[in-house]
Chains A and B, each alone.
Chain A
Amino acid sequence: MDTELTGAEITIRCLQEEGVDYIFGYPGGAVLYIYDELFKQDKVKHVLVRHEQAAVHAADGYARSSNKVGVALVTSGPGVTNAVTGIATAYMDSIPLVIISGQVPTYAIGLDAFQEVDTVGITRPCVKHNFLVKDITELATTIKKAFYIASTGRPGPVLVDIPKDVSQQKTAFAYPESVAMRSYHPVTKGHSGQIKKAVQLILDAKRPMIYAGGGVILSDAAMQLTELVRMLGFPCTNTLMGLGGFPATDKHFVGMLGMHGTYEANMAMQHCDVLIAIGARFDDRVIGNPKHFSNEERKIIHIDIDPSSISKRVKVDVPIVGGVSDVLDELIKLLKARKEKPDQIALKAWWTQVDLWRARDCLKYDRASAIIKPQMVVEKLYQVTKGNAFITSDVGQHQMWAAQFYKFDKPRRWINSGGLGTMGFGLPAAMGVQFANPRGSVACITGEASIQMCIQELSTCKQYGLPLKIVNLNNRYMGMVRQWQEFFHGNRYAESYMDALPNFVKLAESYGHVGMKIEQPGDIEGALKEAFKLKDRLVFMDFITDQTENVFPMIPGGKGLSEMILV
């Protein structure tokens, strides 16, 4: 019955079966048969980027903002090596992606053929899994497995390497409904005995603290987290990856924690007696030095889908391995079934303490400054977009100000490279976000150094009419590098000055976009309003900001949470 299909046709059919609407890619010799099949259909739409790194970041932004698997397609050799930064970025933040790469024909593998690299070898340490498909009869199952592995358990990128001859050969096609793998059984439900223990600890807490990370976003558990926090009345902090997992405008929110977290969040982390860690991994930028992590005796509950995240940096008392959303459902159910409540008097005293820390007003800055303060740009952006925009960012000071000053009330609105810290992520990620949310307002907060790492994507934006708003906080420095040099290297600003900058307004215009240069604090709001009124245009806003501004608070590397430098 089944007529035979080529490997290339099968690849595209599989993507259709998975409901993929967009793939981000760049053609080349090894993927020509696959591109030929893309050409012949219109269900899967291809977005042509200008560099393979951007293809993967765009797929990544698409995935982060939609909870669908992002898909990228690249050719062998340099196509793959260019994609590696994107893959590693997604891997560090556990983002579900499927990357399809072309490979030289099977008979040429290992012979140093033109555009051959050991793709499986190069990407092995930065993928959740990868496959080289040598036998066409295994192609469809392999792609099915790739989507399954990428999107279940702790998500991550999965790469499928397809040699050119495999894309050309023919076989019968049937897309498997499901795949069973004896070696892969992702957990979802948490151990109920452990959850019961957690309930008891929560009820006995005097100084409780909820610390929630990217796992809340990844498992779509923002609603459950919000319900839990409000039900218990506990203070809640989010990691850089977890912002939007709990509404930032809620009174229980004490801000982001970590290296550039708020005083109140870090102090509460340090002084709590019961810490409830939810989909977070106690990493070095969040808790600093684990040896300085706790001042007082305390108990830690840790909910995470990945057993290897538990007790990796900090020993915990009640580990719960499971999907955050399932575990929180169960936890809430059990808490509701209990008559007791946490000690309200103790909780009140704890809040009094937290509010004292809050009163330190650690994010204050000079609002009367005659030079544009970067923080003010982010605040105004928040006001002008009414907190409803999708915000992507690059890496540096601007990223931290974005995280501190844009109040995210909803999940999947804050898109940044937290784990790998990849400059160049912001613009291509914003493209992916816009494709996933065609009606959404999408802004990219960036710096003049970061934006130049993937600036070529302005061309892609033009081709597809993406009305992104680029907010360039231009301090003429690799600001974050300069800040470290100021604090820790005796003000020796080695190679951190950004010289010979382009005229960003003209640059934007030459790509066919709108450019604006803003130099006065009084013009910030007007410029933003005007930019967002241009609904179908990309607007590049070059804000000339204070060169000397630093990100506060700051915990120096290797120090503990209470060793913050404050303004």
Chain B
Amino acid sequence: MRHIISLLMENEAGALSRVAGLFSARGYNIESLTVAPTEDPTLSRMTLVTVDSDDVVEQITKQLNKLIEVVKVVDLSDGVHIERELMLVKVRAVDKEREEIKRMVDIFRGRIIDVTDKSYTIELTGTGSKLDAFLDTIERSTILETVRTGASGIGRGERILKA
């Protein structure tokens, strides 16, 4: 099953490599990982997506908790939560493709953030599957480059992760 794990950790040089090292050393897979400092600059917030059995994910959260620099860990998939991912896509856009792509971007509520006479760069946020869906709808051969941030997640309503 797919799990989205959120953690708060000390914003220190080695912390990220400890998390990444844990995954490689124990053979856990990481589908995506995002990390950035929080409003408190001494803390970083990381979101990790992994697909594994519930037993393995339980081990993963326990092992993460054991890392000295990790302050808190939650498996967001245990409750209702919101997930967003940002994607930038550069596509070839010439002649009648330009209108067609513009229309698709509107339907998916994206924005065109850079334009040349041959290309558009599109910004799109949403769940991973929405971003996948967008890529599926535009003609494959027009895609020049994509970059995705991986999922960030937050609990719904009163669910809060704080140090």
Interface residues of A (CB under 8 A from B): 120-121, 124-125, 128-130, 132, 149, 181-184, 306-308, 311-312
Q: Are A311 and B55 in contact (CB under 8 A)?
A: yes
A120 and B66 alpha carbons, distance in the complex (Å)? 18
Contact with B68, one of A121, A129, A308 (Cβ below 8 angstroms): A129
Given contacts A124-B18, A184-B68, contact A308 B59 (CB under 8 A): yes
Given contacts A121-B17, A311-B55, contact A181 B63 (CB under 8 A): no
CB-defined interface of B138-163 with A at 8 Å, one 1/0 digit per residue?
A: 00000000000000000000000001
Q: List 14 additional contacts besides A129-B68, A307-B62; criterion CB under 8 Å.
A: A120-B14, A121-B17, A124-B14, A124-B21, A125-B21, A125-B25, A132-B13, A149-B68, A182-B71, A183-B69, A307-B66, A308-B63, A311-B58, A312-B59
A143 to chain B, nearest CB (A): 15
- Of all chain B residues, the one with the shortest Cβ separation from A121 is B17
A529 to chain B, nearest CB (A): 49
A312 and B62 alpha carbons, distance in the complex (Å)? 10
Q: Are A181 and B55 in contact (CB under 8 A)?
A: no
A130 and B15 alpha carbons, distance in the complex (Å)? 11
Q: Are A308 and B66 in contact (CB under 8 A)?
A: yes
Contacts of A308 in B (CB 8 A): 59, 62-63, 65-66
- Segment 38-71 of B: residues with Cβ below 8 Å from A: 55, 58-59, 62-63, 65-66, 68-71
A363 and B147 alpha carbons, distance in the complex (Å)? 65
A307 and B64 alpha carbons, distance in the complex (Å)? 11
Q: Does B9 contact A (CB under 8 A)?
A: yes
A124 and B69 alpha carbons, distance in the complex (Å)? 13
A228 and B10 alpha carbons, distance in the complex (Å)? 42
A63 and B18 alpha carbons, distance in the complex (Å)? 26
Contacts of A121 in B (CB 8 A): 17
A273 and B39 alpha carbons, distance in the complex (Å)? 53
Contacts of A129 in B (CB 8 A): 68
A-side interface mostly: mixed
- Of all chain A residues, the one with the shortest Cβ separation from B15 is A183
B44 to chain A, nearest CB (A): 12
Q: Are A307 and B65 in contact (CB under 8 A)?
A: yes
A389 to chain B, nearest CB (A): 36
Contacts of B163 in A (CB 8 A): 182
Q: Are B68 and A181 in contact (CB under 8 A)?
A: yes
A312 and B9 alpha carbons, distance in the complex (Å)? 24
7 tightest CB-CB pairs across the interface, nearest first?
A: A308-B62, A183-B71, A129-B68, A307-B62, A125-B25, A308-B63, A184-B68
Q: Which of B25, B58, B66, B71 has the most CB of A within 10 A?
A: B66
Contacts of B59 in A (CB 8 A): 308, 312
Contacts of A311 in B (CB 8 A): 55, 58
B28 to chain A, nearest CB (A): 13
A282 and B29 alpha carbons, distance in the complex (Å)? 24
A149 and B163 alpha carbons, distance in the complex (Å)? 20
Q: Are A306 and B17 in contact (CB under 8 A)?
A: no
- Of all chain B residues, the one with the shortest Cβ separation from A183 is B71
Contacts of A312 in B (CB 8 A): 59
- Of all chain B residues, the one with the shortest Cβ separation from A125 is B25
Q: Are A306 and B66 in contact (CB under 8 A)?
A: yes
A125 and B25 alpha carbons, distance in the complex (Å)? 8
Q: Are B10 and A183 in contact (CB under 8 A)?
A: yes
A300 and B35 alpha carbons, distance in the complex (Å)? 39
- Of all chain A residues, the one with the shortest Cβ separation from B72 is A183
- Of all chain A residues, the one with the shortest Cβ separation from B70 is A183
A120 and B14 alpha carbons, distance in the complex (Å)? 8
A531 and B70 alpha carbons, distance in the complex (Å)? 53
Contacts of B13 in A (CB 8 A): 132
Contacts of A128 in B (CB 8 A): 68
- Of all chain B residues, the one with the shortest Cβ separation from A128 is B68
B101 to chain A, nearest CB (A): 45
B60 to chain A, nearest CB (A): 9
Contacts of B21 in A (CB 8 A): 124-125
Q: Are A183 and B9 in contact (CB under 8 A)?
A: yes
Contacts of A184 in B (CB 8 A): 68
Contacts of A149 in B (CB 8 A): 68
A100 and B68 alpha carbons, distance in the complex (Å)? 18
- Would you list 9 pairs from A and B whose C-beta atoms are within 8 A, ordered by A residue? A125-B25, A132-B13, A132-B14, A182-B71, A182-B163, A183-B68, A183-B71, A307-B66, A308-B63
CB-defined interface of B1-29 with A at 8 Å, one 1/0 digit per residue?
A: 00000000110011001100100010000
Contacts of A125 in B (CB 8 A): 21, 25
A134 to chain B, nearest CB (A): 9
A272 to chain B, nearest CB (A): 24
A132 and B70 alpha carbons, distance in the complex (Å)? 17
A94 and B21 alpha carbons, distance in the complex (Å)? 19
B9 to chain A, nearest CB (A): 7
B88 to chain A, nearest CB (A): 31
A132 and B14 alpha carbons, distance in the complex (Å)? 9
A182 and B69 alpha carbons, distance in the complex (Å)? 9
- Of all chain B residues, the one with the shortest Cβ separation from A131 is B14
A271 to chain B, nearest CB (A): 26
A128 and B65 alpha carbons, distance in the complex (Å)? 13
A145 to chain B, nearest CB (A): 9
A125 and B67 alpha carbons, distance in the complex (Å)? 11
Contacts of B65 in A (CB 8 A): 307-308
A129 and B13 alpha carbons, distance in the complex (Å)? 14
A183 and B67 alpha carbons, distance in the complex (Å)? 9
A429 to chain B, nearest CB (A): 26
- Of all chain B residues, the one with the shortest Cβ separation from A145 is B68
- Segment 92-150 of B: residues with Cβ below 8 Å from A: none
B71 to chain A, nearest CB (A): 4
Contacts of B25 in A (CB 8 A): 125
Contacts of B9 in A (CB 8 A): 183
- Of all chain A residues, the one with the shortest Cβ separation from B62 is A308
B10 to chain A, nearest CB (A): 6
A132 and B13 alpha carbons, distance in the complex (Å)? 10
A136 and B75 alpha carbons, distance in the complex (Å)? 38
A246 and B18 alpha carbons, distance in the complex (Å)? 37
A307 and B18 alpha carbons, distance in the complex (Å)? 19
A417 to chain B, nearest CB (A): 20
A191 and B60 alpha carbons, distance in the complex (Å)? 22
B145 to chain A, nearest CB (A): 31
B35 to chain A, nearest CB (A): 16
A130 and B66 alpha carbons, distance in the complex (Å)? 14
B19 to chain A, nearest CB (A): 11
Contact with B17, one of A124, A183, A307 (Cβ below 8 angstroms): A124
Q: Which of B14, B17, B63 has the most CB of A within 10 A?
A: B14
Q: Which of A120, A183, A308 has the most CB of B within 10 A?
A: A183
A256 and B64 alpha carbons, distance in the complex (Å)? 33
